[in-house]
Amino acid sequence: MLNLNIDGFPNLALPPAPGRVFLVGAGPGDPDLLTVRASRLIRSATVLAHDFLVPDEILNLAPHHARRIFVGKKGGGFCSPQREIESLLIAEARAGNDVVRLKGGDPFIFGRGGEEAAALAAAGIPFEVVPGVTAALAAATATLTPLTQRGVASSVVFLTGHEDPAKPETSIAWEDYGRLGATLCIYMGMKNLETILRRLQAGGLSAETPAAVIQNASTPAQRRLVSTTGRLALEAEHAGFGAPAIVVIGEAVRTAEHLAQLAAAARDEALALT
């Protein structure tokens, strides 16, 4: 028997209107580097699906009633399957929730944001992408490393040292980048750093090219090691450097050392005048 309402029409349970998904870049870790748009969305989130690298200072901006869902992605550690993350976002939005998918850095720079956007679009879920400060830019500014500068470097390249493990071999022709003459910023490269640097040198990059690794850029735990392409892998291993870290290779690293000296001299002069 049909359950009728007072007007004699069947009571049909309509599905909730779909919520929205916001693919939000949380930046490199420093809460002060969040965009205004990102901060507003986090503060009004119903559901917060976040990665491992998003710090508590940013997560705590969400309202107390917001549901936090950890979809961890950490190199060498727990990693939620990408398809499960996409299914979660779709299911939460179909339940009527506004979901903030919070990613370290920028969603569209080695953040698999494009895959999630495609899955949401295919499912008919409205979404928005909010950019964030990517790790290479944070590492550069925090260490006074101009990734481009007239007469030093006229181009910069973002590369990943960690590709899909299902791929039979790397698609990156490291040897070609070794003769490019650009500033190279390598994400997720610590595990394969020795191989990457060896292949860059095989392509013609001098072993004496300045190189640096910046770990935990923009956070209180930030530290940096400056070396050369030929020695960086061994020295970084001995010094205990690991993920999350950005490797910067090129003459820009030498410029950073010069800028650091000028900045220190300016500080000393200012102090002497006070």
Longest CA span, the chain: 90
Q: What is the pLDDT of residue 260?
A: 82
Average pLDDT of the chain to the nearest whole number: 90
Distance CA 174, CA 234 (A): 19
245 and 148 share a domain?
A: yes
Cβ-based neighbour number of residue 200 at 10 Å: 25
Percent above pLDDT 90 for the chain: 78
Asked if residue 55 has pLDDT above 60, the reply is yes
Identify the residue with better confidence: 154 or 269: 154
Question: What integer is the mean pLDDT of 226-246?
Answer: 97
Residue 57: inside a domain: yes
- Hey, which bits of the chain come out as E strands? 21-25, 47-50, 67-70, 99-103, 127-130, 156-160, 183-187, 210-215, 223-228, 245-249
Residue 16's pLDDT band (cuts 50, 70, 90): low
Last residue of a domain, which of 98, 133, 168?
Answer: 133
| Inter-residue contact 183 to 147 (CB < 8 Å) | yes
Q: Which residue has the tokens 């569209």?
A: 108
| Residue 170 predicted with pLDDT over 70 | no
What is the rounded distance in angstroms from the CA atom of residue 187 to the CA atom of residue 202? 20
One domain, residues 140 and 252:
yes
Instruction: Give the pLDDT confidence of 59-92 residue by residue, as tens digits.
Output: 999 999 999 999 986 555 557 899 999 999 999 9
Are 34 and 103 within 8 A, CB to CB? Answer: no
The label of the residue with tokens 């936090």 reads 68
| pLDDT band with cut points at 50, 70 and 90 for residue 274 | confident
What residues have CB less than 8 Å from 154, skipping those under 6 apart? 148, 182
182 and 111 within one domain? no
Report the 10 Å Cβ neighbour count for 122. 10
Taking only the tens place, the pLDDT of each residue in 24-52 is 999 999 999 999 999 999 999 999 999 99
Q: Which of 133, 166, 183 is the last residue of a domain?
A: 133
Is 7 inside any structural domain? no
**pLDDT score for 48:** 97
pLDDT band at 261 (very low <50, low <70, confident <90, very high): confident
**What is the reported pLDDT for 257?**
82
pTM, to two decimals: 0.86
Domain boundary, last residue among 103, 133, 163: 133
Mean pLDDT of the region 125-129: 97
What are the residue numbers of the active site? 51, 73
Query: Which long-range contacts (C-beta less than 8 Å, at least 24 apart) are formed by 162-170?
Result: 162/75, 162/187, 162/188, 162/189, 162/191, 162/192
